Amino acid sequence: MQTDKKIIITEVALRDGSHAIRHQYTVDQVAAVAGALDQAGVPYIEVSHGDGLGGSSLQYGLSKTNEMELIEAAVSAVDQAKIAVLLIPGIGTVRDLNEAAALGAKMARVATHVTEADVAPQHIARAKELGMETVGFLMMSHMASPEKLTEQAKLMEGYGADTVYIVDSAGALLPHETAERIRRLKNELSVNIGFHAHNNLSLAMANTLAAIQEGADRIDGSIRCLGAGAGNTQTEVLVAVLDRMGIQTGVDLYKMMDIAEDLVAPILEKPQEITKGSLVLGYAGVYSSFLLHAQRAAQQFGVDSRDILIELGKQKVVGGQEDMIFDVAADLAKQSANLVTK
């Protein structure tokens, strides 16, 4: 039993889960869920558009409610928990960060592609100036070697990040790959190390436990598995597993079960499960938020969404290139039409 070990959980359903419900969160939903999570002892709750601050757009998906209203509602609903926001440079701006901080957000998670940490210094620096806890969030971490990932993590550390996360945005990592990456960061960085999983290959929990075993102390979860693709590591399940392992989280398991069942389940448009679409995300190594975009493009152009996602994987398309989804779908439809005419 590891009774001396503690894991700090960040609940991401009110941000990552926004993808799964087409960014349709309401103020009442966010306030109710955030308040209940706070009562359950969850220390950090992330709130923003699925693609972070400033994400509401035709390209990424329009929000039902302005995200600043959602952040304000979450801040007002909690007593102990800190509200976190995600910012992807190029989508969100320093102005967005200033506004979120003024509303009471206490943590800024600055997210970049795994090889592009060098776009983050001004945003991390501004978050520090605002008194926010700062996190470097290295997305699509399966696309970089452990050596390259460590190099980029060191940049995030050098910019002032308090924590650096390995982010398995596609749910493509295997447990031994996760373990190797976390081990290198733990050995070579002095800041906290975090891990964010997706469940597209049904490996979110296995990867999360591998990360914890190698020394990760910050872990993301989404209650009821409410996240992009097949969701993230399911928070209430993670709390139960860690309790069985003797690892402390400070989170009330029964309350988390009740929140999942009574508050979050009714928000879901359909149960989170590994469908053929989300499975292909992990198999092809494609950004989890691409799923709904690919399904819409497939319907519009009369092609198979799996073919779109496989081709996006071959082209190594990353977050921020959502416009490529429709280009690929159009090309596939054209190729299919050419075959028919021949």
Give dist(CA 168, CA 134) in Å, integer.
19
Q: Which residues pair with 10 in a beta bridge?
A: 44, 220
Give dist(CA 138, CA 164) in Å, integer.
8
Query: In sequence order, which residues have a C-beta less than 8 Å from that of residue 257 and are 6 or more positions away?
Result: 236
Q: Is 141 annotated as a binding residue?
A: no
Q: Is 176 annotated as a binding residue?
A: no
218: part of which helix (H) or strand (E)? strand 218-221
- CA dist list (Å): 292 to 57, 162, 240, 309: 15, 33, 30, 11
User: Has 19 been annotated as catalytic?
Assistant: yes
Query: In sequence order, which residues have a C-beta less than 8 Å from that of residue 264 and are 6 or more positions away?
Result: 13, 33, 223, 224, 226
82: part of which helix (H) or strand (E)? strand 82-87
Give, rounded to a whole angstrom, the gap between the first and last alpha carbons of the chain: 66
Give dist(CA 99, CA 120) in Å, integer.
18
Q: Is 126 annotated as a binding residue?
A: no
Amino acid at 206: A
Give dist(CA 169, CA 282) in Å, integer.
9
At which residue do the structure tokens 């590994």 appear? 274
CB atoms near residue 212 (< 10 Å): 21
From the candidates 19, 23, 142, 293, which is the catalytic residue? 19
Q: Is 16 annotated as a binding residue?
A: yes
Q: In the chain, which residue ranges form alpha helices assigned H by DSSP?
A: 17-20, 27-39, 67-77, 94-102, 121-129, 146-159, 175-188, 204-213, 235-244, 253-259, 276-284, 290-301, 305-314, 323-341
**Residues acting as catalytic residues:** 19
Residues annotated within a binding site for Mn(2+): 16, 196, 198
Residues annotated within a binding site for substrate: 15-16, 169, 196, 287
Residues annotated within a binding site: 15-16, 169, 196, 198, 287
